[in-house]
Structure 1
């Protein structure tokens, strides 16, 4: 009788997660693709890896809530660029996994912002970095640079999934291992633990973003961040620029200037030669209208 009671109690606990907060394993999608490429969920090791990543995303609950809330602010900027550049839309989930859609994300290795470029790769793909200006923080510029990288990786591997894996460990890292193991399919390739988790984290973010309620995330319309809308662009030129003065001259303040232009990294820009910047300026109702 006691054994039967424990079984019933256990079943009740599992089925009552939403009311009680008990943990449970996620129900995996019946089928899943990444960038049009099938995820082989018929393989036990693939299911186990995806389940682990799903659990991680689900039980970082407050963090995942914030990430989901940011999608409405940043995806409308990123998705048209991906489409324009011929990159599958699913790579927006790679950006989620990289930075949690946090414009100020920084790693110990020196990776920065949305697409987590390290300085050397950023420069290789055309992004200016430095103490005064760092275009890794400009979502449009960084997305275009990421597209250039992903095009190179896809040309090399003929697989978007392999291209995604290389974003974590580098093309040389993927190529060396694929060559030594004589495999071409990501799901057949043995990689470092972090890189093995990396692609499955991307897949987990995709699954949760497409169906948040199924995985325990209930966001109201007002919980999602609104896109930045109430601003205009001005051109600012010079070899020495005082950004606080630029803000004041345009009826805003330094805080709002940095909010809309996170690539500005200090109060002043100084260079040997003059250059022109396209700067977003908040309008008078930028803050009061919730952007």
Structure 2
């Protein structure tokens, strides 16, 4: 995306296992191989839900073009089993953090699926330089007041990045008139959406002819919402203990320079790696802080990593 950063298709594709391939328990032989391929390898067309919505805004599934585009994303986002299961595991860890932040900053809950589409709920950086779970480009982060330098990158701070995402999306909603268009602008940028609106004289995402990335973007989010809201319907089977969970933490205030984080953490019974796992916004092994700015460091409760 131009404003926030593009994401490769691979990151956001979800998978479902049980609907796609029935595993063969007995090994095939030369004599029965062809028959087994026909009988045991089955890929199913998926029925579209009768109704779908994004943030309470209805998807016009009566339109044959919209049905085809939705069908494509539901299929594509269904048949990558390992990544799909990982998304469920990560969602159990991160959705309890993201959901109250969305509510706090005035965004509909459905936008958590936009975060899934952007980053797969990983603190990562794209080849284009978009970083964090919300995948901001550096320029956008700085424009919205995030601190980004060699020592601190608040694009990796979940609360601050969610606050900025909310500010951006609410401004886009005010400008374009719908949450659906706001989501599309997160991918194409406000300028990109304005250009197409002016050229085509249309104001609905579903009526605009957009570049391939943006034309698929909202449908991917809808597919993620549908699949992740209905795991058993789409063949996902897991136990509660299979999912990732949050480690309880407490905060420690830092308002001085830190010469060496690996030494700083020793009194807390952890190492630099664990510090970074809980504070991914720290970007180096030390901190320059001549201004005395206050930072709040998350420290895991004792007993989880020993």
TM over 0.5: yes
- Deviation for aligned residue 1:17: 4.5
SS at match of 2:145: coil
Structure 1 residue 42 corresponds to structure 2 residue 42: no
Structure 1 residue 265 corresponds to structure 2 residue 280: no
- Deviation for aligned residue 1:93: 0.4
Moved over 4 A (4+): 14-21
1:167-225 per-position Cα deviation (integer Å, ceiling 9, x unaligned): 00101100110111111111001110000111110000000011011112212211211
TM-score if structure 2 supplies the norm length?
Answer: 0.85
Aligned counterpart, 1:251: 269
Greater strand content: 1
Return the match for 2:250 from 224, 228, 232.
232
Unaligned runs of 5+ in 2: 1-17, 24-39
Q: Given that residues 18 and 216 in structure 1 are in contact (C-alpha distance below 8 angstroms), is that contact kept between their aligned partners in structure 2?
A: no
Greater helix content: 1
Aligned counterpart, 1:83: 103
TM-score if structure 1 supplies the norm length?
Answer: 0.89
Q: How is 1:1-291 mapped onto 2 (pairs within 5 angstroms)?
A: 17-18=21-22, 20=40, 22-103=42-123, 105-229=124-248, 231-287=249-305
Q: Given that residues 19 and 234 in structure 2 are in contact (C-alpha distance below 8 angstroms), is that contact kept between their aligned partners in structure 1?
A: no
1:12-62 per-position Cα deviation (integer Å, ceiling 9, x unaligned): xx9884555532222211110000100111111111111111122111210
Equivalent residues, number: 273
Higher normalized contact order (CA 8 Å, seq sep 6+, divided by chain length): 2
Aligned counterpart, 2:31: none
1:76-121 per-position Cα deviation (integer Å, ceiling 9, x unaligned): 1111111112110000000000001112x22111001200000001
Structure 2 Cα separation of the partners of residues 287 and 61 of structure 1: 30
SS at match of 2:122: coil
Q: Given that residues 35 and 88 in structure 1 are in contact (C-alpha distance below 8 angstroms), is that contact kept between their aligned partners in structure 2?
A: yes
